[in-house]
Amino acid sequence: MIPKDIFARIERLRKEINRHNHLYYVEARPEISDFEFDAMLSDLEALEKKYPELKDSSSPTQRVGSDISKGFQQVKHRYPMLSLANTYSFDEVQDFHNRIAKSLSQPWQYVCELKYDGTAIGLTYKNGKLLRAVTRGDGVQGDDVTANVKTIRSIPLTLNGNDFPEEFEIRGEIFLPHAVFDEINQKRNEQGETPFANPRNAAAGTLKQLNPKIVAERKLDCLLYFMLGDSLPYDNHYQNLLKAKDWGFKVPDNIELCKTVEEITNFVDLWDKARRKLPYDTDGVVIKVNSYQQQNQLGYTAKTPRWAIAYKYKAEQVSTTLLSVDYQVGRTGAITPVANLEPVLLAGTTVKRASLHNADQMAILDLHIGDTVFVEKGGEIIPKIVGVDASLRAANSSAFEYITHCPECGTQLIRPDGEAKHYCPNQAGCPPQLKGRVIHFISRKAMDIDGLGEETVDLLFSKGLIKDMADLYDLTYEQLIDLDRFADKSVKNAIASIKQSTKMPFHKVLFGLGIRYVGETTARKLAMHFGLLEKLKEATFEQLIEVDEVGERIAQSIVTFFSDPKNIELIKRLEKAGLTLESESTEGNAATGVFRGQSVVISGTFNRISRDELKELVMQHGGKNTSSVSASTNLLIAGDKMGPAKLDKATKLGVKIISEDDFFELIKQPNT
């Protein structure tokens, strides 16, 4: 029997969480802290777990994504997903306007909106709940990506109000905000993965991820621009879009009603500049006839509506001369060709270099020395060469041939199967790889040796004082004080921060080693799983792929790393220097079982490890994690910023409360 008030409580929580979700993700004006939000969500999770019969696929708890991966089902669009006719000039906008004037006898209005540069989605709602999310596909049918779309916080799972049609479809653009895109690419770079070319590709790729958990981490967003259905509240696009906003959809404010071509061109001009300040990419303006009745009168061609047009902004492009190509060698040995250009002004900055990505890219462009090339700034961080004016090419100019040997150490390059990049395999002797590894090792996310910087590492290499990271621990005051850049204080600071780094936890050391494809998260998982470097070193490929998030590529890379005697030697020296090569949590011992048979609640935020890792440790040591405090709770591990209600309840019920530090003390003790 479900107690009477439970249903109401669950409903209330869902409503509140939805409201705060909307405040945070759609309106960007949160009213509560993340912590309070999480607390509400975990209360709801607990209730839904306890009363599974009250589960609901539209509940905000369903946004986290499940791990079940399956292919996508193809779904036929109820209304075909058309595209828009493009134009690049105001003359063509005038033509569009003239055509409409010929067909319509009554006055009409346009709605001007920005053209969001992402990937299209059609969302169907039934009785105010998200039923289905389908990609454009071929316009007739697309992929059902509902599970992935549910992880997008700005898309309401249930609608506000009660004046929505029983069933309708709303279409929009899924995109990645710039900040999230940069974050993802930084991570991909760190892990030696090819970064996404631009936010649009990243968004489209993410939406097609088979694992919704990964989608949830990628923080996609969605702007809505089009509604379809039999009984929409208004007879025009503009008012329906505003209504959609009331229901909870993210509809941008920069939408304008216009009557004349002049008003349209003003909108286009205004946003050509202003759009650069938006946190997402836009590539034009969409101009739509507002009234549905007039839209129907104008009708459709096979592919596009006659009542709308897209004015596309030209990506800013300039031409300049290609002077030479440099080949950069990264810390993993990956080679990146970079073009040196005759300096030229583009979108407000002087461009001297452009990325060429890899050998294939260069071959496609068929670049010759001295070529006149077109450079463009797209969504990418570094400008790219998009084309060559071959007509201006000197008859005797020669094509660039991709290098066969490392420009730094002369070793013959390799290109692994299935990879676009070439690599220098001389990990042990190639200077930029050696330096790059030390720079990675001292970086903030690894050993955080802030008394040294990139330039100092360069200097230490050039003076022959270091050859690898282990050498850092042998540096002396006398050696450093002799160097140009150092004075008494900075030497002491450097030595102290090197010494301090020996206290860094095992997973940071592991990340710092710079094993290809082992990023921060993987390093944490590996440290947690194996507990000891000794064990990780001995792990077989099969044992490695059992670890959460470790696939074949990572496993192979780890095996290769530890099969190199030079790396084993390096680790020995790091151990001698006193670095932490085992996880603090298990101290290398088997789990203690201190929590055997106990029901443990974890609440708040923690300093040493994440909440998930803490949960894992509780399990490893025999405990059972539960999310809400009840009479059957044995232990509460209280982190920072814990909700007062939970603490209060635990105190009243006499539940034992311990801190993060207490927890680590407990799991140190041998099993009794």
Nearest to 80 by CA among 261, 229, 250, 303: 303
In whole angstroms, give the CA distance from residue 179 to residue 181. 5
Rounded least distance, CB 542 to ligand IVH, Å: 44
Of 115 and 524, which has the nearer Cβ to ligand IVH?
A: 115
Q: Does 647 bind ligand IVH (CB under 6 A)?
A: no
Residue range at the interface with ligand IVH (CB under 6 A); choices 77-85, 98-106, 263-271, 405-413: 77-85
Contact between 311 and ligand IVH per CB under 6 A: no
Pairing of strands 74-76, 141-143: antiparallel
Of the candidate spans 35-43, 108-116, 385-393, 396-404, the one that interacts with ligand IVH by CB under 6 A turns out to be 108-116
| Residue 249 within binding range of ligand IVH, rule CB under 6 A | no
Q: How far is the CB of 169 from ligand IVH (least distance, A)?
A: 12
Q: Which stretch binds ligand IVH (CB under 6 A): 18-26, 79-87, 256-264, 509-517?
A: 79-87
Nearest distance, CB of residue 516 and ligand IVH, angstroms: 37
Calpha distance 558→396 (Å, rounded): 48
Interface residue with ligand IVH among 33, 57, 66, 83 (CB under 6 A) is 83
Question: Does 80 help bind ligand IVH (rule: CB under 6 A)?
Answer: no
Of 110, 225, 238, 517, the residue at the interface with ligand IVH (CB under 6 A) is 225
User: Which residues from 268-287 bind ligand IVH, rule CB under 6 A?
Assistant: 286
Nearer to ligand IVH, 120 or 570 (CB): 120
Closest approach, Cβ 89 to ligand IVH, in A, equals 17
Tell me how far CA of residue 330 lies from CA of 160, 189, 437, in angstroms.
51, 10, 9
**Residue selected from 25, 116, 181, 486 as contacting ligand IVH according to rule CB under 6 A:** 116
Taking CB under 6 A as the criterion, the residue among 120, 207, 460, 515 binding ligand IVH is: 120
Q: Which of 123/385 has CB closer to ligand IVH?
A: 123
Structural element, H or E, at residue 46: helix 34-50
How far apart CA 353 and CA 561 sit, in angstroms, is: 34
The Cα-based distances of 155 to 25, 129, 178, 228, 503 in angstroms read 9, 11, 19, 17, 44
Is 503 in the active site?
Answer: no
Residue 286 or residue 452: which is nearer to ligand IVH going by CB?
286
Does residue 115 interact with ligand IVH by CB under 6 A?
A: yes
Task: Give how far Cα 42 sits from Cα of 17, 61, 299, 603, 604, Å.
Answer: 11, 8, 50, 10, 11
**Alpha helix positions (H), 173-309:** 178-190, 199-207, 212-218, 237-247, 261-274, 292-298
Residues of the chain by 3-state class (helix, strand, coil), percent to 5: 40, 20, 40
Q: What is the smallest separation between the CB atom of 138 and ligand IVH, expressed in angstroms?
A: 12
- Given 82, 197, 214, 318, the residue binding ligand IVH (CB under 6 A): 82
| CB atoms near residue 348 (< 10 Å) | 8
Rounded least distance, CB 530 to ligand IVH, Å: 46
The one among 17, 47, 75, 84 contacting ligand IVH by CB under 6 A: 84
Going 519 to 525 to 529 to 531, the CA torsion angle's sign is positive
Stretch that binds ligand IVH, among 82-90, 259-267, 381-389, 509-517 (CB under 6 A): 82-90
Q: Any contact of residue 221 with ligand IVH (CB under 6 A)?
A: no
226 binds ligand IVH (CB under 6 A): yes
In this structure, which amino acid lies at residue 142?
A: G
| 113 contact partners, CB below 8 Å, separation of at least 6 | 225, 252, 254, 255, 285, 286, 288
The binder of ligand IVH chosen from 173, 468, 582, 660 (CB under 6 A) = 173
Nearer to ligand IVH, 48 or 113 (CB): 113
To ligand IVH, the closest distance from the beta carbon of 236 in angstroms equals 14
End-to-end CA distance of the chain: 41
The region of 20-28, 302-310, 418-426, 568-576 touching ligand IVH under the rule CB under 6 A is: 302-310
Please pick, from the candidates 43, 48, 113, 408, the single residue that binds ligand IVH as defined by CB under 6 A: 113
Given the residues 70, 115, 129, 668, the one annotated as active site: 115
- Specify the 3-state DSSP secondary structure of 397: coil
CA nearest to 42, candidates 505, 554, 625, 488: 625
String of DSSP letters for 470-486: HHHTT--HHHHHTSTT-
- Residues 350-369 close enough to bind ligand IVH by CB under 6 A: none
Among the listed ranges 80-88, 181-189, 391-399, 615-623, the one in contact with ligand IVH (CB under 6 A) is 80-88
DSSP string, 629-654: --TT--EEEE-BT--HHHHHHHHHHT
Q: Which stretch binds ligand IVH (CB under 6 A): 41-49, 115-123, 447-455, 605-613?
A: 115-123
Residue among 128 and 199 whose Cβ is closer to ligand IVH: 199
Phi first, then psi: what are they for 191, rounded to 5°?
A: -90, 10
CB of 281 to ligand IVH, least distance (A): 10
Residue 114 backbone dihedrals phi, psi, to 5 degrees = -75, 155
Query: What b/e readout covers 651-670, taking b as 16+ CB neighbours within 10 angstroms?
Result: eeeebebeebeebbeebeee
Residue whose Cβ sits closest to ligand IVH:
120
CA distance 261 to 664: 69
> Of 303-311, 324-332, 406-414, 490-498, which segment contacts ligand IVH by CB under 6 A?
303-311
- Specify the amino acid at residue 192: G
CA 315, CA 378: separation in Å to the nearest integer?
7
Q: How many chain residues are in contact with ligand IVH, going by CB under 6 A? A: 14
Q: Is 164 in the site for ligand IVH (CB under 6 A)?
A: no
The CA distance from 672 to 664, in Å, is 16
Rg of the chain on CA atoms, in Å: 29
Q: Does 447 bind ligand IVH (CB under 6 A)?
A: no
Which residues in this chain contact ligand IVH in the complex, by CB under 6 A?
A: 82-84, 113, 115-116, 120, 173, 225-226, 286, 305, 308, 310
Mind telling me the catalytic residues? 115
